Amino acid sequence: MKVCQVNLQHSKAAALEISKNFDKGLYDMVLIQEPYIKDSLVNIRTQNGSILYHKNNGKVRSCILINNVFKYLMLPQFTNNDEVAVKLSLKDEQGGYRDIVFCSGYFPYDSDWEPPSRNIVNLVEFCKKGGLNLIVGCDANAHNVVWGSSDTNKRGESLLDFLLIKELIVLNEGNEPTFSNSIREEVLDITFCNRVVCNMVRKWNVSSEPSLSDHRYITFEVMTCESDQEGFRNPRKTDWIGYKCSLINNLQGLNHIVTSQTEAEILSENVNMAIMNAYRDNCKLTKPCKHGRCKWYSAELERMRKKVRRKWNQSKKLVRQGLSITEASLQSGYKEFLTSYSRAVKEAAIASWRKKCEEIERFEDCARIHTN
C-alpha cells in the first residue's frame, strides 16, 4: 500500500497536482494537511477516491484521500478540524485481515497548547487498549533534532516526550527538509507509529517531485497483500432486506448494560463491526474502472514537471556549495519554473472544465456535473 503525506497550504494548484498523481495510481492513500477549501468544503476531486474530513462550519485543516477499493471505517470520535482518523482492514499474508488506524494531523503553530493535542493522546490510548496498529502523518510545526530539524524548541521537546512515554516510533530518516521556501528550510512534517506496525512500514522518503506547495511529499509503503483487492462496494446495489436480517443476527448478545467507559468503547467497536460485516455480506464487490491519467494533464505539462524537478536538483546543489536558499533558487531558475508550472496546471484544469461545460447539451448531463 503506497501512502503519501503532504501539506497543501490551501493551494488549488497543489490540490490539482496531488489529484493527478492519485489518479495515476502513484498513491493509495494521501494524508493531507491544510487542503484546498472552496465554499467551506474540501475541494479535492479524483476519479476513484474518497475524501474524508470533519464536515462542519469550522476551518478544516486535515483530511484523508483514500482509494475506493479499500475497506475503511472513519472514526468520528477521533476526528475534528485538525485531525482525521480512519481504520482500514488490510489483507495480510495469511489471507486474513489486519486493522490499521491512519491519522492525518495538523498541530497549529499558534495554539495555546504544546503538541500533541488531547485528541491524539486519546487516539493513541484507544489503539493501545485495542491492540490496533497506528500510523500518524502530521505537520507538527515542531523542531527537534531527533527527526532531523536544525534545532529543538519547546514544542519539539513536548512532542518527543510524549512519543517516548507512549513508546511510539518516529519514521523520519535523515535530515532532508520537508518544508522549503525562499527564506528557510526545515523538517516540520513527521510520521510516527506504534511498535506493532513499525516493521510493516518501508521506504520512508522525502520526495523531490514538485508538490506546488512549500511542503514536500513524504512517501512510504505499508507492506500488505492488498494488491489482491478486486473492487469496491456500491451502496446502491446493497440487498437491504438481507442486510437487515444479517444485522439483527450480528447484534444478538450486544444488549448488555454498560457500566464503564471501557465497556462502552468495546460495545461501540462490536456494533461497528456488526454493521460492517452485515454490509459486506449483502453488497457485492464491483470492479473499478482504471482511468489511468487525468484528461487535462498533457504531455507539455509533464515536460514542464520534469524541468521543474531538474531545476530543484540544481538549486539543492548550489545550496550545498554555500549559496543561500534565495540565491540558489534565483540562480537555478527553480522558483520561476515552479511558478510557471503551477500557473499552467491551473489554466489546464480550468480550460478542461470550460470545454466540458460547453459540450453539455442535455439538462440531465448538467444536473450531474460538479465544479473543481
Asked if 240 and 98 sit in the same domain, the reply is no
Is the whole model's pTM more than 0.85, yes or no? Answer: no
Asked whether residue 175 is assigned to any structural domain, the reply reads: yes
Q: How does strand 97-106 pair with strand 133-139?
A: parallel
Asked if 34 and 117 sit in the same domain, the reply is yes
Residue ending a domain, choose from 228, 258, 276: 228
- In our burial notation (b when 16+ CB lie closer than 10 A, e otherwise), range 212-245 reads bbbbbbbbbebebbbeebeebbeeeeeeeeebee
Query: pLDDT tens digits, residue range 193-239?
Result: 998 888 889 999 999 888 989 999 999 999 876 544 456 678 888 89
Let me know the angle formed at the C-alpha of 66 by 63 and 70, rounded to the nearest 5 degrees. Answer: 140
- Extract the C-alpha cell encoding 147: 527527526
- The answer to whether the CB of 22 falls within 8 A of the CB of 49 is yes
pLDDT(318) > 90: no
Average pLDDT of span 174-190 = 90
Residue 111 vs residue 133, higher pLDDT: 133
Asked if 26 and 165 sit in the same domain, the reply is yes
Which amino acid is residue 163, in one-letter code?
L
Asked whether residue 294 is assigned to any structural domain, the reply reads: no
What contacts 80, CB < 8 A, 6 or more positions away?
54, 119
Q: Please state at what angle helix 261-282 crosses helix 118-130, rounded to 10 degrees.
A: 70
Asked whether residue 9 is assigned to any structural domain, the reply reads: yes
Number of domains in the chain: 3
Asked if 122 and 135 sit in the same domain, the reply is yes
Asked whether residue 293 is assigned to any structural domain, the reply reads: no
pLDDT(192) > 50: yes
Average pLDDT of span 297-326 = 83
Asked if 243 and 311 sit in the same domain, the reply is no
Asked whether residue 291 is assigned to any structural domain, the reply reads: no
Asked if 102 and 169 sit in the same domain, the reply is yes
Asked whether residue 71 is assigned to any structural domain, the reply reads: yes
Q: Give residue 322's domain range.
A: 299-368
The kind and range of the H/E element at 287 are none
Question: Which of 317, 313, 318, 372 is closest to 338 using CA atoms?
Answer: 313
Average pLDDT, the chain: 85
Backbone angles phi, psi at 50, to 5 degrees: -120, 145
Question: Which of 24, 18, 26 is closest to 51 using CA atoms?
Answer: 18
Direct distance between the N- and C-terminal alpha carbons of the chain, in angstroms, rounded to an integer:
27
Asked if 187 and 320 sit in the same domain, the reply is no
Percentage of residues in the chain having pLDDT higher than 70: 91
Give the CATH number, domain containing residue 106.
Answer: 3.60.10.10
Asked whether residue 266 is assigned to any structural domain, the reply reads: yes
Asked if 219 and 101 sit in the same domain, the reply is yes
What distance in Å separates the CA atoms of residue 29 and residue 33, rounded to the nearest whole number? 13
Average pLDDT of span 353-361 = 79
Query: pLDDT tens digits, residue range 47-63?
Result: 888 999 998 777 899 99
Residue 246 vs residue 270, higher pLDDT: 246
Asked if 155 and 6 sit in the same domain, the reply is yes
What contacts 112, CB < 8 A, 6 or more positions away?
none
Average pLDDT of span 282-303 = 73
Let me know the angle formed at the C-alpha of 213 by 223 and 186, rounded to the nearest 5 degrees. Answer: 80
What distance in Å separates the CA atoms of residue 148 and residue 357, rounded to the nearest whole number? 48
Asked if 259 and 307 sit in the same domain, the reply is no
Asked whether residue 239 is assigned to any structural domain, the reply reads: yes
Asked if 177 and 111 sit in the same domain, the reply is yes
Q: What is the DSSP letter of 359?
A: T
Asked if 213 and 248 sit in the same domain, the reply is no
Q: Is the peptide bond before 35 cis (omega within 30 degrees of 0)?
A: no
